[in-house]
């Protein structure tokens, strides 16, 4: 087998454009490729790749591979894997970077096991060991209560990267890259699953991932109603969105789409207001990238105060309405 | 039609223990003895998914776990809630494995069990959080897998799965046998009944060693790893939270608004 060289990013599209995670992977991949003095490639499998080739190159890719097939309209592992597996065998990359997204969580373990290599999921940091040229892979473990560094000598080295953990490069449309011809046939008879229906459940209003302000409620909120009243009033005032830690989502107080944390959404707003959230590491894993964290909790020992910049110790039922009213006054004045 | 199910469970230190008790010493996670082991939270959801199918369609549930030094009362919860059989792959050689060596040993055990319609796994273990083992088992066995299930129904040799996606869910159909990876929306694991606890107390788990699944000790656990753990550590975090005071909680709330304006956060 040929020597493994170069970095391959498995890209994703969001609303017809390169997803932000893919620009982040390209930013990180560019640095790794430069350190190795090797190429950075990007693969996109979609029913319509459109202008993503130009975008991928502008964000750092040297080579762009696209596989267009109607079956990629909605991700299904058994068709998608065919494209990735064939391209990987053709170009033998040293490392494969995939987003720790809905798609990446489903794809990456299958790919690593199929290729007989290893995988490190949910990486926060990646670098090249100058002596061995191996990828140094840092990820949180024990629900975020510790971090670990992994390496593997098996090629290709496969990793998934947490969203918002890496910075994209500035878009530069003058960058040069090559759009590579790809001929990959997809055998649809090998697809063992069938999507019968896709149902949108997202709450109306600003999407959590895009909101500049997030008001997040925890187990201590006590029930579904305050999410619709006390918390929503504060979020509306600040043009923000309402989220939750895991217990409210598990209890059905809010839809699963509102869940922020290790197994929910990863967000990084300007302002994150945690209300009656204890601050378990599994939750803070989803919000620690926020610029300013503000905590309101009746327990002065709550872990969330270790993450927050400003805090109030008190029952949220008393603190939050007064906070909202005063804010309204200050914003009006 | 009764459904033959295998549920993979892991015994882990209680992940809900307060963050301050998690201490890394010499590259090892050490926890005080009062942090009790539990069945991982996502494996509990996997058990509940299997029990719901047993409730309606009937069938058999075999709980399968890999590790060493199992606390019998903890792992036997799988029987107490309604599991029919418990197989423990229990040996020193199984310790300190990675996703690969764990998935490989579980897949070999499942081959030895032989008959199954559905293998249920949790989405990720509650200690290492890797989220690889379920899909790894499916790849090794060459069966289809559906991830992030929050509802599973079985009819006519097929499973209909509600699979969670970022802004909603999909309904996915898969032909059995298949592996299904469960997430939290399935509902909390039911409490064991007194009868269940009594019955579990009398049942002895089946114990398998590496040789029982056709593997050498050098192929499992730490010796069978594909990825190397170079370092386990805890980044130092400086807590510097400014607590805003007030005569009453309401006054503190109003003062917080004033302070945020001063700090130009608004």
Is A115 inside a domain boundary? yes
Of B173, B244, B248, the CB nearest to A311: B244
Beta B168-175 vs B28-30: how paired, if at all? Answer: unpaired
- Predicted pLDDT at A203: 66
**B11 falls in which pLDDT band (50, 70, 90)?**
very high
Q: Chain A contact for B264, CB < 8 A?
A: no
Is A199 inside a domain boundary? no
Q: Which of B224, B244, B251, B259 to mutate to test the interface with A (most CBs of A within 10 A)?
A: B244
| The pair of three-digit structure tokens given for residue A12, joined into one six-digit string | 């994703």
Beta strands in chain B (DSSP E): 3-9, 11-13, 23-25, 28-30, 37-39, 59-67, 85-90, 118-122, 145-155, 158-165, 168-175, 178-182, 206-208, 228-233, 242-243
Q: How many domains does chain A have?
A: 2
What burial letters (b/e) apply to A74-90, b meaning 16+ CB within 10 Å?
ebbbbbbbbbbebbbee
CA distance B80 to B92: 26
Instruction: Decide if A202 and B167 are in contact by the 8 Å CB cutoff.
Output: yes
Instruction: List the 9-38 stretch of A: residues with Cβ below 8 A of B.
Output: none
pLDDT tens by residue, A176-206: 999 998 888 999 999 999 999 999 876 667 8
Same domain, A133 and A174: yes
- Predicted pLDDT at B166: 87
- Predicted pLDDT at A2: 61
Same domain, A25 and A170: yes
Instruction: Decide if A330 and B266 are in contact by the 8 Å CB cutoff.
Output: yes
Q: Chain A contact for B151, CB < 8 A?
A: no
Instruction: List the 231-250 stretch of B: residues with Cβ below 8 A of A.
Output: 231-235, 237, 239-244, 246, 248-250
Same domain, A219 and A184: no
Give the gyration radius of chain A's Cα atoms: 22
Q: Do the beta carbons of residue B59 and residue B6 sit within 8 Å?
A: no
Residue B98 pLDDT more than 70?
yes
Contacts of B195 (CB under 8 A, 6+ apart): none
Q: Which residues of B touch A15 (CB under 8 A)?
A: none
Q: Which residues of A touch B243 (CB under 8 A)?
A: 300, 305, 311-313
pLDDT tens by residue, B145-183: 999 999 999 999 999 999 999 888 999 999 999 999 999
Stretch B14-34: mean pLDDT, rounded? 91
- Predicted pLDDT at A242: 96
Instruction: Decide if B170 and A197 are in contact by the 8 Å CB cutoff.
Output: yes
How crowded is the C-beta side of B129, counted as CA atoms within 13 Å? 23
Beta A178-180 vs A193-200: how paired, if at all? Answer: unpaired
Instruction: List the 124-163 stretch of A: residues with Cβ below 8 A of B.
Output: 136, 140-143, 145-154
CA–centroid distance for B153 within its chain: 21
Instruction: Decide if B232 and A201 are in contact by the 8 Å CB cutoff.
Output: no
By C-alpha distance, which of A79, A10, A67 is closest to A41?
A10
Instruction: Decide if B254 and A326 are in contact by the 8 Å CB cutoff.
Output: yes
Q: Which residues of A touch B124 (CB under 8 A)?
A: 263
Same domain, A121 and A265: no
Distance to chain A for B5, nearest Cα, Å:
19
Instruction: Decide if A141 and B127 are in contact by the 8 Å CB cutoff.
Output: yes
Distance to chain B for A331, nearest Cα, Å:
8
**B266 falls in which pLDDT band (50, 70, 90)?**
confident
How crowded is the C-beta side of B87, counted as CA atoms within 13 Å? 21
Same domain, A143 and A105: yes
Please tell me the CATH superfamily of domain B3-224, with its number. Answer: HUPs (3.40.50.620)
- Predicted pLDDT at A206: 82
Is A66 inside a domain boundary? yes
Same domain, A217 and A304: yes
CA distance B265 to B259: 9
**B240 falls in which pLDDT band (50, 70, 90)?**
confident
pLDDT tens by residue, A69-93: 999 999 999 999 999 999 999 999 9
CATH code for the domain in which residue A275 is found: 3.40.50.1220
Of B140, B172, B244, the CB nearest to A194: B172
Instruction: Decide if A319 and B138 are in contact by the 8 Å CB cutoff.
Output: no
Is A310 inside a domain boundary? yes
- Predicted pLDDT at B236: 83
Residue A53 pLDDT more than 90?
yes
Q: Chain A contact for B254, CB < 8 A?
A: yes
Same domain, A165 and A29: yes
Of B135, B183, B243, the CB nearest to A109: B135
Q: Do the beta carbons of residue A60 and residue A29 sit within 8 Å?
A: yes
**Domain boundary, last residue among A164, A190, A216:** A190
What proportion of chain B, given as a percentage, has pLDDT over 70? 100
- Predicted pLDDT at A202: 66
3-state secondary structure chain A: CCCCCCEEEECCEECCEECHHHHHHHHHHHHHHHHHCCCEEEEEEECCCCCHHHHHHHCCCCEEEEEECHHHHCCCHHHHHHHHHHHHHHHCCCEEEEECCHHHHHHHHHHHHHHCCCEEEEECEEEECCCCCCEEEEEEEHHHCEEEEEECCCCCEEEEECCCCCCCCCCCCCCCCEEECCCCCCCHHHCCEEEEEEEECCCCCCCHHHCCEEEEECHHHCCCHHHHCHHHHHHHHCCCEEEECHHHHHCCCCCHHHEECCCCECCCCCEEEEECCCCCHHHHCCCCCCCEEEEEECCCCCCHHHHCCEEEECCHHHHHHHHHHHHHHHHHC
Q: Which of B97, B139, B185 to mutate to test the interface with A (most CBs of A within 10 A)?
A: B139
pLDDT tens by residue, A236-295: 999 999 999 999 998 999 988 899 999 999 999 999 999 999 999 899 999 998 999 999
- Predicted pLDDT at A4: 96
Same domain, A175 and A227: no
Range of the domain at A297: 208-332
**Domain boundary, last residue among A190, A219, A235:** A190
Beta-carbon count within 10 A of A132 CB: 10
CA nearest to A300 within chain B: B243
- Predicted pLDDT at A180: 93
What proportion of chain A, given as a percentage, has pLDDT over 90? 88
Please state, rounded to an integer, the average pLDDT across all residues of chain A.
95
Q: Which residues of B touch A77 (CB under 8 A)?
A: 145
The reported pTM is 0.93
- Predicted pLDDT at B51: 98
Signed CA dihedral, B120, B38, B14, A297: sign only: positive
CA distance B89 to B96: 14
Instruction: Decide if B256 and A319 are in contact by the 8 Å CB cutoff.
Output: yes
Domain regions of chain B by residue span: 3-224, 236-266
Q: Chain A contact for B146, CB < 8 A?
A: yes
Residue A1 pLDDT more than 70?
no
- Predicted pLDDT at A210: 87
CA nearest to A270 within chain B: B265
Residue pairs spanning A and B at CB distance below 8 A: 250
Q: Do the beta carbons of residue A148 and residue A139 sit within 8 Å?
A: yes
């Amino acid at each position: 087998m040929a020597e493994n060289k170069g970095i391959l990013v498995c890209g994703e599209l969001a609303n017809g454009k390169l997803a932000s995670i893919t620009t982040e992977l390209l930013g990180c991949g560019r640095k790794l490729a430069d350190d190795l003095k090797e190429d950075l490639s990007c693969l996109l499998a979609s029913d319509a790749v459109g202008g993503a080739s130009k975008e991928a190159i502008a964000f750092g890719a040297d080579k762009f591979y696209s596989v267009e097939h109607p079956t990629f309209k909605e991700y299904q592992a058994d068709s998608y894997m065919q494209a990735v597996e064939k391209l990987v065998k053709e170009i033998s990359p040293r490392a494969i970077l995939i987003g720790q997204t809905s798609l990446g969580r489903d794809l990456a373990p299958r790919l690593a096991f199929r290729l007989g290599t290893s995988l490190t999921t949910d990486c926060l940091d990646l670098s090249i060991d100058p002596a061995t040229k191996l990828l140094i892979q840092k990820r949180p473990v024990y629900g975020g209560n510790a971090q670990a560094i992994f390496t593997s000598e098996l090629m290709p080295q496969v990793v998934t990267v947490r969203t918002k953990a890496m910075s994209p490069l500035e878009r530069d449309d003058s960058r040069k890259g090559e759009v590579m011809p790809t001929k990959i046939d997809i055998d649809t008879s090998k697809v063992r699953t069938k999507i019968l229906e896709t149902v949108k459940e997202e709450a109306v209003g600003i999407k959590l991932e895009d909101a500049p302000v997030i008001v997040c409620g925890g187990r201590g909120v006590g029930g579904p109603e305050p999410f619709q009243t006390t918390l929503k009033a504060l979020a509306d005032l600040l043009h923000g969105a309402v989220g939750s830690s895991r217990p409210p989502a598990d209890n059905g107080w809010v839809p699963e789409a509102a869940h922020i944390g290790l197994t929910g959404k990863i967000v990084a707003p300007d302002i994150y207001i945690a209300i009656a959230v204890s601050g378990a590491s599994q939750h803070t894993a989803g919000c620690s990238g926020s610029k300013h964290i503000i905590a309101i909790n009746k327990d002065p020992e709550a872990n969330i105060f270790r993450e927050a910049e400003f805090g109030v110790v008190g029952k949220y039922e008393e603190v939050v309405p007064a906070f909202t009213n005063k804010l309204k006054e200050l914003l009006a004045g | 039609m009764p459904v033959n199910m295998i549920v993979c469970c892991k015994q882990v230190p209680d992940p809900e223990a307060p963050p301050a008790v998690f201490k890394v010493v010499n590259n090892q996670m050490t926890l005080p003895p009062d942090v009790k082991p539990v069945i991982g939270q996502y494996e509990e959801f996997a058990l509940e998914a299997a029990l719901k199918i047993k409730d309606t369609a009937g069938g058999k549930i075999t709980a399968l776990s890999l590790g060493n030094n199992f606390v019998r009362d903890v792992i036997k919860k799988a029987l107490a809630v309604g599991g029919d059989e418990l197989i423990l792959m229990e040996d020193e050689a199984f310790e300190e494995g990675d996703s690969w060596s764990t998935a490989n040993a579980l897949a070999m055990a499942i081959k030895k069990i032989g008959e199954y319609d559905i293998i249920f796994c949790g989405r990720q273990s509650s200690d290492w959080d890797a989220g690889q083992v379920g899909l790894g088992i499916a790849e090794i066995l060459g069966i289809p897998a559906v991830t992030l299930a929050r509802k599973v129904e079985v009819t006519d040799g097929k499973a209909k799965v509600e699979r969670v996606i970022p802004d909603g869910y999909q309904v996915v159909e898969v032909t059995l046998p298949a592996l299904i990876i469960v997430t939290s929306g399935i509902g909390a694991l039911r409490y064991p009944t007194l009868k269940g606890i009594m019955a579990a107390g009398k049942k002895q788990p089946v114990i398998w060693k590496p040789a029982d699944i056709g593997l050498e000790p050098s192929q499992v656990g730490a010796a069978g790893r594909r990825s190397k753990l170079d370092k386990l550590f805890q980044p130092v975090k400086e807590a510097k939270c400014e607590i805003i005071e007030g005569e009453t909680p309401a006054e503190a709330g109003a003062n917080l608004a004033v302070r945020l304006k001063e700090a130009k956060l608004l």
